[in-house]
């Protein structure tokens, strides 16, 4: 899927707020920190610890089938990483949902950057999605007052569509264990040290704020090669038409063309009223 990257945070945020504004009476899902974290590079996040199945369904409907996650990167400042620039790479992110209609699995995940890396035990490099961060607070505050300052980057999943009532919703995330020889600056930078990585469920507006902050990228070591692959903002705007247009139970009939209305009126004028028939009983 092709993503579009924009460079004006204020105009982007305005577009997202307009596109994802709910009609009167509809409750927007606000950003919230999730209870479960990822420890030592692998784990499962139970989304229903923090939102109900109905709330999660509304969230997917409002976002156009996106799951937007803020990630707090907690890595040691070892090797070529520093307090102002940390990194990890994602090997897998898979959302498993069980509903009254069956099981649904989604694995189309993205971040805004990628790098060519070798996995531990591997001999060739492959492209992996990566995330940047920093130590300490970024001073970011979400649009609804949510404290974004502890979060560093955005991980998102796309094309989430399901039916039925959600009974279970779990997200398994695995970080990439890079080559231990540390022969590459990128592999040394995007390793993980086994800390806790925290996650937050984000509204579209907060995902844009965090995405456009580009935390940690400006201070990345010169030898670390990475590619700007796309953006959560592009995914949000691309999903907006689906979020804006809920299905109708029965589509409204098209208005009659003007010529048909004129012809019908003329026909009524030409009709002569008939005398009512009578029946006499003797």
User: Is 50 exceeded by the pLDDT of residue 151?
Assistant: yes
pLDDT on residue 254: 47
pLDDT on residue 241: 72
| Average pLDDT across the chain, whole number | 81
pLDDT on residue 76: 75
Q: Per-residue confidence at 236, pLDDT binned at 50, 70, 90?
A: very high
pLDDT per residue as tens digits for the range 55-109: 999 999 999 999 999 999 988 777 788 899 999 999 999 999 999 999 999 999 9
SS3 80: coil
User: Is 60 exceeded by the pLDDT of residue 147?
Assistant: yes
pLDDT on residue 128: 97
Beta-carbon contacts of 40 under 8 Å, excluding residues fewer than 6 positions away, are 192, 194
Lowest-pLDDT choice from 16-30, 121-135, 259-273? 259-273
Give the pair of three-digit tokens for residue 272: 């002569």
pLDDT on residue 127: 97
For residue 272, count CB atoms less than 10 angstroms from its CB and return exposed for 0-12, middle for 13-18, buried for 19 or more.
exposed
User: Which of 20 and 147 is assigned the larger pLDDT?
Assistant: 147
**Region 219-242: what's the mean pLDDT?**
90
pLDDT on residue 182: 58
pLDDT per residue as tens digits for the range 125-139: 999 999 999 988 888
Q: Per-residue confidence at 183, pLDDT binned at 50, 70, 90?
A: low
∠ CA 90-93-96, rounded to 5°: 170
Beta-carbon contacts of 209 under 8 Å, excluding residues fewer than 6 positions away, are 9, 13, 140, 142, 143, 148
Q: CA-CA distance, 143 to 222, in Å (whole number)? A: 34
């Amino acid at each position: 899927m092709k993503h579009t990257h924009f460079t004006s945070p204020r105009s982007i945020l305005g577009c997202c707020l307009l596109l994802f504004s709910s009609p009167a009476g509809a409750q927007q899902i606000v950003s919230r920190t999730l209870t479960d974290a990822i420890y030592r590079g692998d784990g499962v996040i139970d989304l229903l610890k923090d939102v109900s199945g109905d709330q999660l369904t509304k969230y997917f409907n409002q976002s156009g089938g996106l799951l937007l996650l803020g990630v707090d990167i907690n890595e040691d400042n070892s090797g070529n990483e520093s307090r102002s620039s940390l990194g990890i790479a994602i090997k897998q992110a898979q959302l498993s949902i069980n509903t009254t209609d069956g099981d649904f699995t989604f694995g189309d995940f993205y971040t805004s950057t990628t790098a060519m890396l070798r996995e531990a035990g591997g001999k060739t490099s492959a492209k992996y999605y990566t995330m940047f961060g920093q130590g300490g607070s970024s001073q970011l505050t979400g649009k609804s007052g949510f404290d974004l300052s502890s979060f560093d980057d955005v991980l998102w999943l796309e094309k989430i569509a399901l039916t039925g009532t959600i009974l279970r919703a779990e997200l398994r995330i695995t970080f990439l264990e890079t080559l231990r020889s540390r022969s590459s600056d990128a592999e040394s930078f995007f390793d993980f040290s086994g800390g806790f990585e925290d996650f937050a469920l984000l509204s579209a507006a907060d995902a844009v704020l965090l995405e456009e902050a580009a935390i940690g990228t400006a201070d990345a070591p010169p030898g670390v090669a990475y590619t700007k692959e796309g953006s959560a903002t592009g995914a949000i705007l691309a999903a907006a038409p689906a979020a804006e247009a809920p299905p109708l139970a029965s589509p409204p009939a098209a208005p009659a063309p003007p010529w048909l209305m004129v012809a019908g009126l003329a026909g009524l004028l030409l009709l002569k009223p008939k005398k009512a028939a009578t029946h006499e009983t003797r």
